[in-house]
Amino acid sequence: MPKRVLLQPAGKEFIVEQHETILEAGLRHGLNLPYSCANGTCGDCRSRLVRGRIEPVRYHDFRFSRLEKQQGWFLACSCRPLSDLEIHIDLGDEPGDIPQQRIATRVERTVPLNQEILQLQLRTPRSRSFRFLAGQKAQLTFGDCVSAILPMASCPCDGMHLRFHLRSAELALAECWQEQLRRGQRVTIQGPCGDFVINEASQRPLLFIAWDTGFAQIESLIDHAISFDPDRSMRLYWLSPDEHGHYLSNYCRAWEDALDNFSYRPVSLTSVRLMDAVIAQILKTHADLETYDLYMTLPRGSIERSRKRILEQGIPEQQLFIDSI
């Protein structure tokens, strides 16, 4: 039977299914719980039981002192609830709350999304997870070949399987592409970085505008937003200079089919110079623009110009979030 967990001091609640640990359930619900290894070694997910009963589901190497046990400390990755719980654990909802990490990962698989874009999936060691917030970036080093800071396309709920969208021409990967991105090859990830993250305190509807491969960050934001509030109103516009550039349209349409309050519109542009006019037209269709939180990924050179024009249309500055691709 599912159990309810109340997190203090945040005051947030989530449900733990019978087969889940407390950490697994919290991450599934979009909560930024502290953790690293997720297997009882590091102790980063240590929490304090305030009320209720728990039981261990796996042996763990991390050791609590006798006093800590008496005070109710336990590892969220290694325990499940036997009753409804109240626990104390500090959430990491701000970029500064997430520690810097450097992990040697391996290429798990690569998936061509179109003729120019490749989805890269990395796998961390079993003893490590990469913590980040939805919308952040990380630095990838491909052997001795090339290093690049890339947006993360995956959801923070799974820090062991990390997804990125790569464009070979932009990343100068042409010469080492085949060699360094083969299954099992080492890729070092460092970070995270960036503050293009969801405002967790807001309950406003969400409006997303993605330009080209900037969809990677938007994908991460949407997956995260869905995990903690699937009923929230969300609108996605994906702009591309290529009619074949909406390389994950089926994924977006799956969101639209599954969620009552989600809409998706792909927009193809014949020229990047039309982008400002198209964005202005999109925003005009939302007469209640000031009621939204607006998240946009744009070419670096157009950010300040777009920011000025959008603010002139009435959206409060604290509700506008823009990052460069």
Name, in order, each residue with C-beta under 8 angstroms of 70's C-beta and a sequence gap of 6 or more: none
Instruction: Give the β-pairing of 137-142 and 146-151.
Output: antiparallel
pLDDT in tens, 87-115: 999 887 688 888 899 999 999 998 889 88
Give 276's DSSP letter.
H
> Comparing C-alpha atoms, which of 151, 144, 107, 128 is closest to residue 38?
128
- Whether residue 198 is contained in a domain is answered as no
Residue type (1 letter), 295: Y
pLDDT in tens, 23-41: 999 999 888 888 888 888 8
**The residue to which tokens 């010469």 are assigned:** 175
Q: Are 281 and 274 in contact (CB under 8 A)?
A: no
Please, what's the largest Cα pairwise distance for the chain?
Answer: 68
The Cα 156–Cα 149 span in angstroms is 18
- Quote the pLDDT of residue 174: 45
What CATH number is attached to the domain comprising 76?
3.10.20.30
Query: Which residues lie across from 206 on neighbouring strands?
Result: 234, 293
Shared-domain flag, residues 158 and 211? no
Shared-domain flag, residues 311 and 210? yes
Residue 310 three-state SS: helix
Shared-domain flag, residues 100 and 79? no
- Per-residue tokens: 74: 């336990």
pLDDT in tens, 130-177: 999 999 999 999 877 678 899 999 999 889 999 999 886 655 554 555
- Quote the pLDDT of residue 239: 95
- 81 prior amide bond cis, ω within 30: no
- Whether residue 201 is contained in a domain is answered as no
Shared-domain flag, residues 262 and 286? yes
Shared-domain flag, residues 70 and 137? no
The total of structural domains in the chain comes to 3
Q: How many CA atoms lie within 13 A of 216 on its CB side?
A: 25
Shared-domain flag, residues 28 and 48? yes
Shared-domain flag, residues 314 and 258? yes
* Strands of the sheet with 293-298, listed across from one edge: 262-268, 234-240, 206-211, 293-298, 320-324
The angle formed by the CA atoms of residues 241, 243 and 246, to the nearest 5 degrees, is: 85
Shared-domain flag, residues 226 and 283? yes
* pLDDT over threshold 90, residue 201: no
More confident call, 313 vs 319: 319
Q: Are 137 and 149 in contact (CB under 8 A)?
A: yes
- Whether residue 239 is contained in a domain is answered as yes
- Whether residue 60 is contained in a domain is answered as yes
The Cα 74–Cα 81 span in angstroms is 12
Q: Give mean pLDDT, residues 69-94.
A: 90
- Whether residue 306 is contained in a domain is answered as yes
**pLDDT band at residue 274 under the 50/70/90 scheme:** confident
Domain boundary among 60, 88, 116: 88
Shared-domain flag, residues 249 and 312? yes
Domain boundary among 62, 88, 114: 88
Query: Which residues lie across from 118 on neighbouring strands?
Result: 112, 166
The Cα 203–Cα 193 span in angstroms is 25
- Quote the pLDDT of residue 17: 94
What CATH number is attached to the domain comprising 229?
3.40.50.80
Shared-domain flag, residues 317 and 233? yes
What CATH number is attached to the domain comprising 164?
2.40.30.10
- Quote the pLDDT of residue 146: 72
- Whether residue 199 is contained in a domain is answered as no
- Whether residue 154 is contained in a domain is answered as yes
What H or E segment, with its residue span, contains residue 231?
none
Shared-domain flag, residues 122 and 78? no
Instruction: Read off the pTM.
Output: 0.85
Residue type (1 letter), 96: G
pLDDT in tens, 233-268: 999 999 998 878 899 999 999 999 999 999 999 999
Q: How many helices (H) and strands (E) does the chain have?
A: 8, 18
Q: Provide the mean pLDDT of the chain.
A: 89
Domain boundary among 167, 193, 219: 193
Give 100's DSSP letter.
P
- Quote the pLDDT of residue 79: 94
From residue 257, how far is each of 7, 39, 98, 232, 254 by CA, in Å?
A: 32, 35, 34, 15, 5
- Whether residue 139 is contained in a domain is answered as yes
- Per-residue tokens: 257: 């089919």
The angle formed by the CA atoms of residues 8, 14 and 15, to the nearest 5 degrees, is: 135
What does the chain come to in residues? 325
Shared-domain flag, residues 148 and 230? no
* pLDDT over threshold 80, residue 60: no
The Cα 125–Cα 160 span in angstroms is 8
Domain residues for the domain of 137 are: 95-193
The Cα 319–Cα 205 span in angstroms is 11
